[in-house]
Structure 1
Amino acid sequence: MGTTRRFVASEKRRPGHTHALLVTTGSVASIKAPLIVRELLKYENVEVEIVSTKAALTFFEKSDIEELGRHVWTDDDEWDIPRLRALQPDYKIGDPILHIELRRWADIVLVAPCSANTLAKISQGLCDNVVTSLMRALSPSTPTYIFPAMNTLMYEHPLTAEHLRVVKDVIKYNVVGPIGKALACGDIGIGAMSEWKDIVQIVVDRFQLQLSPGLEGGQE
């Protein structure tokens, strides 16, 4: 809901457009969020929304997204505590709830990056922030992609394998990556998020998107 912003899927969805929802969580790979958004917006008839955990915002500035004409939705937008406490007369059953409106809006969901913490929460069905509430509320028919990103030993932890099994085999999400490379912590091994251009390409291929006239592919 939020004190200054209101998101209603029926008002935001545009006929003939692809609606891509980018979810960022507490991994350093969230630094790639502005690149993903900028690249997606180069394609015709594409709309992008971004929803982030508090930890994700350690790695990029909201202003980097706002410069692209988009808002970063967070817990602050989901729960307007003063308004709820005051029980203002204009609050009523049926008013828009952010995580529900976002899932109604989305044609595809990209959790990029998906930290070990958020992966564990999703696999167990926890709903303690706007991101995990959104994930729990998603329709099974919404194409959803999980891009794990974590330290190699976190990825190799036996619980991670179980969480990924649940996400893939029970919830039926698509899991892509992680990949091997030098990690932000200095370790070398598997655990890095898939390349951001490859993430964009998944959306492009699935919806057969075309670049807007005069535009070329993204930049590193």
Structure 2
Amino acid sequence: MAEEEVGQNFTTDESSRMKSAGPGPARRRLRVLLAACGCQSAKNFALVCQSFITWADVRVVLTNPAWRFVNLPLVPDGSVTIHSDSAQWLFWQKHSYGLHVELQKWADIMVIAPMSANTMAKMLGGLCDNLLTCIIRIWDYKKPLYAAPSMEPSMWDTPLTVTQIQSLHKLGIIVITDIGKITDGLYIHEHVAVSEYVRLNYLGKSGAE
């Protein structure tokens, strides 16, 4: 697939993009940055995209390993731009700053689903060797960041994983850890959608303006 300056763009009808059907009293649609890592459960990532575009403006970040798992033909022809690691350098050449800065400012919330054990370890160590971890490194934690770790069952039952999940919570990351459902794209969407509806409507948080 041809690489554009900031990713691959799948366009849709402009009028449908402008409809505000999302949770909360936002004056514009919520901006959701969706990300996927190289996990087997990333095969359902297209379903996650399909669910979110019904009420949010969506941009996507895929790590290089994620491209092997995500079923790109099923990614909806909606307002979805897919950003890859190679777009980071192309953007830098033109603007003299990284694409990760632009995406962090653009997003109202971020959802990493799935997040691999490798990415989880890198983010907790402060590493930023790709577009996704650069965004995580500069994320404004006044804005929600959801993460759905995905790994083999045997990896969950280790002291290291338990410690890392606790560290994610301490950072302020909203961790989705229902192991039996994290591979379900609809469950990820419903969890975030309900949480955002409550946050915007009942917890006194300001919506997108």
Q: Same fold, TM exceeding 0.5?
A: yes
Q: 1:112·1:147 contact (CA, 8 Å) conserved in 2?
A: yes
Residue 69 of structure 1 and its aligned partner are, at CA, apart by 4.5
- Segments ≥4 residues shifted beyond 4 Å: none
Tell me which of 10, 25, 32 is aligned to 2:44: 32
Residue 167 of structure 1 and its aligned partner are, at CA, apart by 1.1
Q: 1:148·1:178 contact (CA, 8 Å) conserved in 2?
A: no
1:62 aligns with 2:62: no
Tell me which of 11, 25, 30 is aligned to 1:18: 30
Letter in 1 for 2:131: V
1:145 aligns with 2:143: no
Letter in 2 for 1:23: A
Distance 1:92 1:130 in 2: 16
1:205 aligns with 2:194: yes
Q: 1:122·1:167 contact (CA, 8 Å) conserved in 2?
A: no
> Which one has the largest radius of gyration?
1
Structure 1 residues without counterparts, runs of 5 or longer: 8-13, 85-90, 181-191, 210-220
Give secondary structure in 1 for the equivalent of 2:164.
helix
Relative distance call for 1:178 and 1:203 in structure 2 (3 A) is: closer
Residue 66 of structure 1 and its aligned partner are, at CA, apart by 6.2
Distance 2:135 2:116 in 1: 16
1:217 aligned residue: none
1:121 aligned residue: 122
Q: 1:25·1:55 contact (CA, 8 Å) conserved in 2?
A: yes
Identity of aligned residues (%): 26
Give secondary structure in 1 for the equivalent of 2:75.
helix
Q: 2:50·2:76 contact (CA, 8 Å) conserved in 1?
A: no
Q: 2:57·2:79 contact (CA, 8 Å) conserved in 1?
A: no
Give secondary structure in 1 for the equivalent of 2:113.
strand
Residue 65 of structure 1 and its aligned partner are, at CA, apart by 2.5
Residue 151 of structure 1 and its aligned partner are, at CA, apart by 0.4
Give secondary structure in 2 for the equivalent of 1:127.
coil
Letter in 1 for 2:82: V
Residue 194 of structure 1 and its aligned partner are, at CA, apart by 5.1
Distance 1:149 1:136 in 2: 20
Cα deviation, 1:34-90, whole Å, max 9, x if unaligned, reads 1111111223xx201110111111112434326335221110111239x85xxxxxx
Tell me which of 85, 89, 92 is aligned to 1:79: 89
Q: 2:32·2:57 contact (CA, 8 Å) conserved in 1?
A: yes
Q: Which segment is superposed worse, 197-206 or 151-160?
A: 197-206
Tell me the TM-score normalised to structure 1 length.
0.72
Q: 1:65·1:71 contact (CA, 8 Å) conserved in 2?
A: no
Residue 6 of structure 1 and its aligned partner are, at CA, apart by 4.1
Letter in 1 for 2:5: R
1:174 aligned residue: 174
CA RMSD between the two structures? 2.6
Give secondary structure in 1 for the equivalent of 2:118.
helix
The number of equivalent residue pairs is 179
Distance 1:4 1:152 in 2: 38
2:203 aligned residue: none
Q: 1:78·1:99 contact (CA, 8 Å) conserved in 2?
A: yes
Distance 2:139 2:95 in 1: 23
Distance 1:172 1:164 in 2: 11
